[in-house]
Amino acid sequence: MGANNLESQLHNWFRRPLPTESDRLHRSIDALVYPQARERLRQPGLRRLGAPIAASLTILVAGILGAGLLLSTSIGAAPTPLQGAFTATPDLPGVGWDEAVTLKNGQVLLTGGRDENGSASVAAVYDPASGKFHSTGSLTPGAGLTGGRSRPSLTLLPDGRVLVAGGKDDSGRALATAEIYDPATGAFTNTGAMSAGRVDHTATLLRDGTVLLVGGRSGPDAGGTGSGQPDLLSTAEIYDPSVGTFTATGSLATARADAAATLLDDGKVLLAGGVGDTQLASAEIYDPGTRGFSTTASMSVARQQPTATLLATGRVLLDGGWGTEGSLSSAELFDPVSGTFSLTGSMGIGRYRHATQLLSDGLVLVVGGECSGDHCSGQTGPLASSELYDPSTGLFTPAATMGHARYGSVSASLGAGSVLVVGGQGPDGILNSGELYRR
């Protein structure tokens, strides 16, 4: 046996996976290590290394596995670096909070905070350098309208400004108006209006710097604050920041709100799930080249308000949401090459109105939400737990626990494995607190 073959065998031997926790608990180190080591050492190439080296290898292997045994007994006693941790931030200047977007300067814009009168007119900025929030300009529903603007879409534009579009006023009426936030001045200014009021729609920045706004609810009670029935929209519009106007584009095959939208690597946009007459499993693709939508394969189950995350592989992870029987724990992957969905690992608990962020190492953090139905493991209501999805294994694993259970919170990536989670609703009402996740 040549030196290269011997080196390869040693390399493969030490790369073998450590025994499972069950193995470690039910077999002694002697029974586990020494028979395996002796079997390896019976190979002629290893025998020629000599007894002293062979004995050293046996001790080394035992030490490695022994260390693994000690490590396994400590898991669960304290969070590991992989799980990360949440720490509380200072309280915010308002309560509620609907949307968040990370600005080009690394700060985070938050909108939809309620003032002392309950109006969703408060906006704030989080500064990671100081770890503090400060108020910025106030949102308005538009000229001639009163009250605030809640549940709009926020889209970071190429020039660093933010498009704030649609949402609802304090009476629940869907808004067609839009505003532009300028971080340089900290002020909101009116821009062009959409053809129809929209709330619970999607907004996606396209490759050419324009913004695609799709679907949603419209009407005087689109926000669900009264007894009226909102209109579901199939229409879509394009916002051009160079001229400040909206123009109509192709329409969806199925009207929907609460869908998930993702810009794919080829510049097209995936629209998946949401709600029409009932929860939807269907999906559609918007092609900027043709300015139209086309249907694609459906998900395995209907999902209202799933979260969607573009992975480094180009596939899209869709997890949780509200299904026909309650909160969903399942997740699936969309492959843009085949145009199909396939199931991946499931979360440990059903989550609806949760938050999801892609971390810098490629893992996906899933935070909070609420659970109701058959997939709650006895933990109904707002959730404080979080999970990490690993695309390389297709599995979710438990991560750190927040200080407050919350659903409907907003989140923003701060880079380097850090995520800001703000607001939402807990067991005792609307929250004005925030938490910072770090790995």
Higher-scoring residue by pLDDT: 195, 56: 195
- Kindly state the tokens that stand for 72: 């396994």
Quick check: 372 and 330 in contact, CB under 8 A?
no
- Band (pLDDT 50/70/90 cuts) for residue 321 is very high
Higher-scoring residue by pLDDT: 229, 259: 259
Determine the Cα–Cα distance for residues 276 and 234; give it in Å rounded to an integer.
10
For position 10, what pLDDT does the model report?
Answer: 34
The mean pLDDT of the chain is 83
One-letter amino acid of 327: S
The set of residues, in sequence order, having a beta carbon less than 8 Å from that of 17 and lying 6+ positions away, is: none
Helix (H, G, I), strand (E, B) or coil at 168: strand
Say what percent of the chain tops pLDDT 90: 68
Which residue bears the tokens 């290898």?
Answer: 57
For position 11, what pLDDT does the model report?
Answer: 38
For position 418, what pLDDT does the model report?
Answer: 97
pLDDT of 129-149, one tens digit each? Answer: 999 999 998 888 876 666 789
- Band (pLDDT 50/70/90 cuts) for residue 64 is very low
The set of residues, in sequence order, having a beta carbon less than 8 Å from that of 56 and lying 6+ positions away, is: none
> What are the angstrom distances between the C-alpha of 273 and each of 69, 99, 174, 279, 368?
45, 20, 21, 7, 20
- Band (pLDDT 50/70/90 cuts) for residue 224 is low
For position 223, what pLDDT does the model report?
Answer: 65
- Band (pLDDT 50/70/90 cuts) for residue 153 is very high
DSSP β-bridge partners for residue 351: 328
Strands (E), 146-186: 153-156, 162-165, 178-182
For position 60, what pLDDT does the model report?
Answer: 33
How would DSSP label each residue in 177-220? -EEEEETTTTEEEE----SS--BS-EEEE-TTS-EEEE--EEST
Mean pLDDT value across residues 254-280: 97
- Band (pLDDT 50/70/90 cuts) for residue 170 is confident
pLDDT at 353 over 70: yes
> What are the angstrom distances between the C-alpha of 436 and each of 57, 81, 84, 344?
45, 15, 10, 28
Provide the 8-state DSSP code for 328. Answer: B
Determine the Cα–Cα distance for residues 87 and 412; give it in Å rounded to an integer.
15
Higher-scoring residue by pLDDT: 385, 52: 385
pTM metric for this prediction: 0.81
For position 147, what pLDDT does the model report?
Answer: 77
- Band (pLDDT 50/70/90 cuts) for residue 225 is low
pLDDT of 393-409, one tens digit each? Answer: 999 999 999 999 999 99
Higher-scoring residue by pLDDT: 72, 206: 206
- Band (pLDDT 50/70/90 cuts) for residue 226 is low
Determine the Cα–Cα distance for residues 213 and 102; give it in Å rounded to an integer.
19
- Band (pLDDT 50/70/90 cuts) for residue 42 is very low
Quick check: 283 and 274 in contact, CB under 8 A?
no
Quick check: 389 and 334 in contact, CB under 8 A?
no
For position 402, what pLDDT does the model report?
Answer: 97
Determine the Cα–Cα distance for residues 402 and 358; give it in Å rounded to an integer.
18
For position 139, what pLDDT does the model report?
Answer: 86
Mean pLDDT value across residues 39-49: 35
For position 96, what pLDDT does the model report?
Answer: 80
Half-sphere exposure of 184 (CA within 13 A, CB side): 3
pLDDT at 9 over 50: no
pLDDT at 25 over 80: no
pLDDT of 89-126, one tens digit each? Answer: 999 988 888 899 999 999 999 998 887 777 888 899 99
Determine the Cα–Cα distance for residues 322 and 371; give it in Å rounded to an integer.
9
Mean pLDDT value across residues 412-431: 94
Q: Helix axis angle, 3-14 relative to 51-74, nearest 10°?
A: 20
Higher-scoring residue by pLDDT: 244, 221: 244
Determine the Cα–Cα distance for residues 14 and 253; give it in Å rounded to an integer.
56
Phi and psi dihedrals of 33, rounded to 5?
Answer: -85, -50
Mean pLDDT value across residues 65-94: 60
Q: Please report the sign of the dihedral spanned by the C-alpha atoms of residue 217, residue 411, residue 186, residue 163.
A: negative
Say what percent of the chain tops pLDDT 70: 79
For position 48, what pLDDT does the model report?
Answer: 33
For position 140, what pLDDT does the model report?
Answer: 82
- Band (pLDDT 50/70/90 cuts) for residue 47 is very low
Determine the Cα–Cα distance for residues 302 and 343; give it in Å rounded to an integer.
13
- Band (pLDDT 50/70/90 cuts) for residue 244 is very high
The set of residues, in sequence order, having a beta carbon less than 8 Å from that of 398 and lying 6+ positions away, is: 83, 348, 385, 386, 387
pLDDT at 2 over 50: no
